[in-house]
Structure 1
Amino acid sequence: MQISEILPSDGVKMLASTSSKKRLFQDLGDLAESCYGLAPARVVEALLDREGLGPTGVGHGVALPHARMEGLEQVRGLFIRLEKPLEFDSIDRQPVDLVFCLLAPDGSGVEHLKALALVSRTLRDAAICQKLRANGEIGTLHAILTEGPAIQAA
């Protein structure tokens, strides 16, 4: 699996700032609607439900919100880079500026976990995060995220 299989170029967005985690999830819902035709309210609800189990801020300014939803055929990704970091209740208590959202079919098990592992490994790479933070061009952000080789996830 490669990130290019789950993240289309129109699934990448830059935001100057956002006021809250819920507002960020609404932005992700709007992006999911434009990319995948999903109802924004359903996306927000699914992300908030998952977030209720524990924060998805994984540290070092990275968040990986994810949820399973009916109506999807395969795992789909969205990426938002925030110019102004957002408090996110991350494990290291640092604000978040790189947000990679995964939406998976309701019944997906292994594929969802493989995608989550792939994105997690990619965004644990300090050099990739540095490149993402240094660029504001949507096409460049997409290229940085998708240029790497396939990562074999468990």
Structure 2
Amino acid sequence: MAYIRKIRQLVGHQPLIMTSASGALVNEQEAVLLQERADTGDWGFPGGYMEFGETFEQTVVREFKEDAGIAVEPQRLLKILDHDTYTYPNGDVVQPVNAFYLVRRTTARQYPIKPSETVRTRYFGLHESPHFFNQQHAEMWAVLKEYLTNR
């Protein structure tokens, strides 16, 4: 976050292209873990923006631990999403370029989550339709459903 804060101090709410990574953790019942976001109250896949020097894979591992309290490793890149824009409640405008991964839990240990980012986490069945944070997360949901149906 320090990297993004520094950029925003320089450019204010100007539109930025931001790189991010998100992950889909699927349990044995093929339900998907989502986070209820603290900033909007909507649902989304755990993930977030890269810090300078990180790879997409390192980002999804770090962000998943911060957002969901779970250590994961990427298993498969499902899609790069890059065509949406989003305006945050504070007025920041972004075009997020997101690497969306299928991830696997690496330990049963639960880590503390960042309450400034996550209210709670919950597994959703593929037939459910939570209210997503933005269009990109809704598209990731569709990508995951298609992948799980056709594998």
| Fold in common (TM above 0.5) | no
Instruction: Give the structure-1-normalised TM-score.
Output: 0.26
Larger strand share, 1 or 2: 2
**Structure with the greater alpha carbon radius of gyration:** 2
